[in-house]
């Protein structure tokens, strides 16, 4: 028997589970528990969640788009 998650992957095999945005967040698909740098656990149940990679978010570990107003790291 195919699990709902496996069924979803078969329907969308071309869609990655994790997307790294240039100078922006890491997008993760599906339910996850994210551990922050202090060991705090944060559960997400959203279809897609944005995890901050710039370290400047006001709502860590989630991206709040602050990365858009800080200098770019990549050319
Ligand atoms: S990546 Fe968006 S606020 Fe850090």
Q: Per-domain residue ranges for the chain?
A: 15-69
pLDDT of the residue at 69: 95
Ligand 1, closest atom to CA 58? 3
CA gap 63, 51 in Å, rounded? 5
Task: Report the separation in Å between the CA atom of 21 and the middle of ligand 1, taken as the mean of its atom positions.
Answer: 10
| Structure-model confidence comparison of residues 75 and 53, the more confident one | 53
H or E element that contains 34 = strand 32-35
- Region 10-37 average pLDDT: 88
Asked if pLDDT for residue 54 goes beyond 70, the answer is yes
Does pTM surpass 0.85?
no
User: Residue 25 has which token pair?
Assistant: 């967040």
Q: Phi and psi at residue 44, in whole multiples of 5°?
A: -120, 140
Q: Given a cut of 70, is residue 13 above it in pLDDT? A: no
Q: Residue 27: which of 37, 11, 36, 16 has the closest Cα?
A: 16
User: What residues form DSSP beta bridges with 33?
Assistant: 43
């Amino acid at each position: 028997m195919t699990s709902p998650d496996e069924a979803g992957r078969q329907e969308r095999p071309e869609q990655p589970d994790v997307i790294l945005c240039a100078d922006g967040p890491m997008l993760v698909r599906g339910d996850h528990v994210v551990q922050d740098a202090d060991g705090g656990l944060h559960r997400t149940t959203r279809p897609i969640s944005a995890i901050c990679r710039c370290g400047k978010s006001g709502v860590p570990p989630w991206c709040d788009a602050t990365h858009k107003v800080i200098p770019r790291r990549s050319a």
